[in-house]
Amino acid sequence: MSSREAILGAIRSAQPKALSLPDLDALGVGGRMEGTLVNFIAMLDFIGARVVRAAKLEDATTWLRENIPVNEAIASTVPQLPGTVDLSGISDPHDLDGVHTAVFPARFGVCENGAVWIEETDLGHRVLPMIAEHLFIVVRADQIVADMHAAYGRVGKIGSGFGLFLAGPSKTADIEQCLVIGAHGARGATIFIWGE
């Protein structure tokens, strides 16, 4: 007998009578937190992300010019905000080591925890949000949901092979519980929120 059959057999004889799946709405789960832009920005601040608020996407050009040192590598997947690295020419993700700032869009933001949803198709390379030293994430102001239940409603079926909720810069508190921003992933995350 294969291990698969052995394990499934053992489970079948051990599992109890089938119980029904709970009704989340009846339990009162979700829809009880406010999904406002003000709260979203406050939460981003709490988790150590930087927020830039602007009317137009093009305003980001100025911010990037003023805040990223010249000669640093910028990898961008936002057509209106071209970077200095030609992502289409990179086939091996290892070559992204040394990118100073990664610029990419998020589909929407989650008010309750400051996370933004990112799909593989918006990244070019899955490792981009971790390997870059800094992140510049572009999200529209009207694309904010209140909680994670609404978020999964928005995510729906993930068409690509990878998606991610990203909440601020990477961090660790593994040394004596001291919070340090910038573990293996980005040292800083700027969320650029544009539009009404």
Question: Scanning residues 54 to 113, which ones bind another protein (CB under 8 A)?
Answer: 93-94, 97, 110, 112-113
Size, binding site for another protein by CB under 8 A: 78
**CA of residue 105 relative to chain centroid, distance:** 9
Structure tokens belonging to residue 44: 């981003």
b/e map of 116-154 (b: 16 or more CB within 10 Å)?
Answer: bbbbbebbbbbbbbbbbbbbbbbbbbebbbbbbbbbeee
Q: Which of residues 4 and 65 has its CB atom nearest to another protein in the complex? A: 4
Among the listed residues 64, 115, 191, 193, the single contact to another protein using CB under 8 A: 115
Is residue 146 involved in binding another protein (CB under 8 A)? no
Residue 141 or 183 having the CB closest to another protein: 183
Q: How far is the CB of 77 from another protein (least distance, A)?
A: 15
Question: Least distance (Å) from another protein to the CB of residue 106?
Answer: 13
Minimum CB–partner distance for residue 85 and another protein (Å): 17
Question: Rule CB under 8 A: is residue 21 a binding residue for another protein?
Answer: yes
Among 66, 69, 86, 174, interactor with another protein by CB under 8 A: 174
Token pair of 11, please?
A: 């489970």
- Residue whose CB is less far from another protein, 6 or 55: 6
- We find the least distance from the C-beta atom of residue 49 to another protein, in angstroms, to be 10
Does position 134 interact with another protein (CB under 8 A)? The reply is: no
Binds another protein (CB under 8 A): choice among 41, 105, 139, 147: 147
Q: Are 187 and 181 in contact (CB under 8 A)?
A: yes
Q: Distance (Å, rounded) from C-alpha 16 to C-alpha 118?
A: 39
The answer to whether residues 136 and 101 touch, using CB atoms and an 8 Å cutoff, is yes
148 binds another protein per the rule CB under 8 A: yes
DSSP 87-125: GGG--SGGGGTT-SEEEEE-SEEETTT--EEEEGGGTSS
**Are 120 and 163 spatial neighbours (Cβ–Cβ below 8 Å)?**
yes
| Contact stretch for another protein (CB under 8 A) within 10-18, 62-70, 81-89, 101-109 | 10-18
